Structure 1
Amino acid sequence: MSQFVSEKSVFVNQNLESREALLRFVSDKAAEFGITDNADAVYDAFMAREAMGETGMTDGFAVPHAKSDDIKEAAVIVVKNDRALEWPSFDEKPVDVAIALLVPGGEAGTTHIKLLSKTAVLLMKDEFKNLVHGTDDAAAIADAINAGIDEE
């Protein structure tokens, strides 16, 4: 199994007050982890995508994604908030789990599509959604996402 998502990139019990604060948190973590040297550019990429339409899926999950030449390597950062946030979503319900995809601009048509489709498949599985909502074990969440990314 690949270790695309590491335990250190899964944040549980966060206390963020808005979608914007959550995306700023992810952008700052991307800079801290060396995924980017420009957290503001990553945040701007997230917000530009948010302006295009819903990244909120169903059942409290969102899949915000940023594509930018300022992103050095593809990454996934997961944030599980302590309360649901207003977030435009397909089921019009608030979001408490964001699986944020960060993709270099040059990989927008390849890595981005693969990650987005694999994540969408995971979010159709009740066992995955129940596991993420039911645990604060960052390693278990990372393992479940990695297993989903590895599936053919």
Structure 2
Amino acid sequence: MGFVSANQVTIGYTAASREDALHYLSDQAVELGFADDASAVETAFMARENEAETGLVAGFAVPHAKSDVIHTPGVAVLKLVEPVEWPSFDGVPVDVALALYVPAGEAGTTHLRLLSKAAVMLMDAGFRDKVRASTDPVEIAELINSGLED
């Protein structure tokens, strides 16, 4: 059993904006059992977004929320139907978000480990191409788990 399961992967969501995508991911935190308060998770996502861009390269972003309302660390994947404007290193709109949910008490450990592994995965064009091409939540979960376990 890996860190990411198929129910943590959403394919084909239509978001009007980055904020809409983050709202969805905040609701997912509660639905998936990582947190109890979606609006507090959303506040944590936006606080991080206001610090610096979470868009990396080639349409991929790694939004992350650190909060006391998150009791279980987790990851969710959101593939959008159409890219949305999202501040990123290369200025490309985002259509795939790899969201990290981090309990406040694990901010220096779990958070940094997940973030560094996510960044390494997303710098690999082959990995990005596989995730973008797949419409299978199980396959996407397996791809991410293999990267997180390295």
- TM-score range (shorter-chain normalised) is over 0.9
* SS state at 1:109 partner: coil
Q: Per-residue displacement from partner, 1:82-119 (whole Å, max 9, x unpaired)?
A: 01000000001100000000000000000000000000
- Distance in structure 1 (CA, Å) of the matches to 2:111 and 2:9: 19
1:43-54 mapped onto 2 (5 Å cutoff): 43-54=42-53
The aligned residue for residue 77 of structure 1 is: 76
CA drift at 1:59: 0.3
- Normalised by the length of structure 2, the TM-score is 0.98
* SS state at 1:12 partner: strand
Q: Per-residue displacement from partner, 1:62-95 (whole Å, max 9, x unpaired)?
A: 0000000100110001000001000000001100
State whether structure 2 residue 100 is matched by structure 1 residue 101.
yes
* SS state at 2:123 partner: coil
**8 Å contact kept, 2:57–2:123:** no
- Distance in structure 2 (CA, Å) of the matches to 1:132 and 1:41: 29
Question: 4+ runs of 1 displaced by more than 4 Å?
Answer: none
**8 Å contact kept, 2:62–2:99:** yes
- Distance in structure 2 (CA, Å) of the matches to 1:36 and 1:90: 29
27-36 or 63-72, larger mean C-alpha shift: 27-36
- Residue identity over aligned pairs, in percent, reads 52
CA drift at 1:147: 0.3
* SS state at 1:79 partner: strand
- Distance in structure 1 (CA, Å) of the matches to 2:3 and 2:110: 12
The aligned residue for residue 149 of structure 2 is: 150
The aligned residue for residue 91 of structure 1 is: 90
* SS state at 1:77 partner: strand
The unaligned stretches of length 5 or more in structure 1 are none
CA drift at 1:51: 0.3
- Distance in structure 1 (CA, Å) of the matches to 2:108 and 2:34: 19
CA drift at 1:34: 1.8
The unaligned stretches of length 5 or more in structure 2 are none
CA drift at 1:135: 1.2
- Normalised by the length of structure 1, the TM-score is 0.97
CA drift at 1:125: 1.0
1:3-152 mapped onto 2 (5 Å cutoff): 3-151=2-150
